[in-house]
Copies of this chain bind each other. A is one copy, B any other.
């Protein structure tokens, strides 16, 4: 394998021509390979076929307490679902609201509530001045989209190996009362697969915000989504916050979207004190109740922590093959040609890569012309702007193994092309 950094300009140009020929051959194939979103593949969805049939008679629709789940009622979720999520997370069942099929939707509701009603006696966020939100980046584009939608100013927080830059967070949070919250994916973060260390979680719990209505949006989307047999531990943010009298800080979210069916799962939120009262009140006004039949389906199918964790192993078997294809290919192509860096995640849904020269956008563009669709470059940053233009999020889960092999091979090809283009451009600039 050639190391591009050791090649002369001429040698690079020759390499470029060869790669381009290869590229053009593929271009004529009209491929359509989508690696843009963290979507489970069909084989994963097939694991939950049983979910479709657990409720088939009217008797099946009665819950353990005799509640007819077909009818109205039970605003904050079935008791057995609260027990289930409590066993999984170690958070008291009384602190949960069990929702519909979208945890994102509950996060949106949460932010929207603070905008219209405020929190802890503060004036509503929408009635005061500018609202700032901290955004560990790269991060989840849909979080940032919610902040943007509500007109917040997003402040980028760099990610370190054990979580976001806590020095910077502490500074912003303690000094600026217009900083009202932070988006976190604390376990197997999207896209880098980073799990927050105990020290990071403890520093979150000890925050002393200038804004008394500061909130930690703790989107624990990948809480049981390990890719190895060894679970990466994460401290319970709620317990930690309680220790420091900060129980109003965290609002945590979970979902079964990547456990059962992404389009028809069940979402959960948990919080304490006034937050819990506020959101129970809000949901009692907003709906007569979430889909209890789907909640009942889930508890009958997933049963308890032991069966769930066993079930997640089956996901892992499917996912491991996919992630191995990507990592093996990246290793093969770039181990001795370090024009790309990547993570090797122990959980979650993504491989995050960084191009050596600032050419992520160009890589995505080149891929697109081949029919390989990647997450837009920059999408993992606030306002979709990656100032360094280096980060790309790869989502290996949805494609079939063969499709993925092709897609990742072509991705590597495009990385090389983009690198050489940029290198030559840079050289020309210097000469000018």
Contacts and interface: CB of A to CB of B under 8 A. Distances in A.
Contacts of A124: 126
Interface string A280-299: 00100111111111100000
B293 A263 contact: yes
A105 interface: yes
Contacts of A162: none
A421 to B, nearest CB: 34
A63 B282 CA distance: 34
B68 A42 contact: yes
A13 interface: no
A264 B112 contact: no
A70 B47 CA distance: 12
Interface residues of A, number: 56
A203 to B, nearest CB: 30
Contact of A294 (B108, B142, B291): B291
Please give the count of copies of this chain that the complex contains: 2
A376 to B, nearest CB: 15
A150 B68 CA distance: 32
Interface stretch (A54-62, A87-95, A308-316, A336-344): A54-62
A210 interface: no
Contact of A49 (B49, B58, B69, B100): B58
A22 B72 CA distance: 34
Nearest to A149: B285
A73 B102 CA distance: 12
Contacts of A100: 100-101, 291
A173 B42 CA distance: 53
B285 A145 contact: yes
A32 to B, nearest CB: 14
Contacts of A104: 286-288
Contact of A264 (B48, B56, B70, B146): B70
Interface in A115-161: 115-116, 124, 126-127, 142, 145-146, 149-150
A429 to B, nearest CB: 39
B293 A264 contact: yes
A45 interface: yes
Contacts of A49: 57-58
Interface string A64-78: 000011111110000
A37 interface: yes
Given A52-B57, A112-B116, A261 B45 contact: no
Interface of A: 37, 39-40, 42, 45-46, 48-49, 52-53, 55-58, 60-61, 68-74, 100-102, 104-105, 108, 112, 115-116, 124, 126-127, 142, 145-146, 149-150, 257, 261-264, 282, 285-294
- Please list the 7 inter-chain residue pairs (A to B) with the smallest Cβ-Cβ separation, ordered nearest first: A264-B293, A108-B286, A70-B261, A102-B287, A72-B262, A105-B287, A263-B292
20 contacts: A39-B73, A42-B58, A45-B68, A52-B55, A52-B56, A52-B61, A56-B56, A70-B262, A70-B263, A71-B262, A102-B286, A102-B287, A102-B290, A104-B287, A104-B288, A108-B287, A115-B116, A146-B285, A149-B285, A264-B294
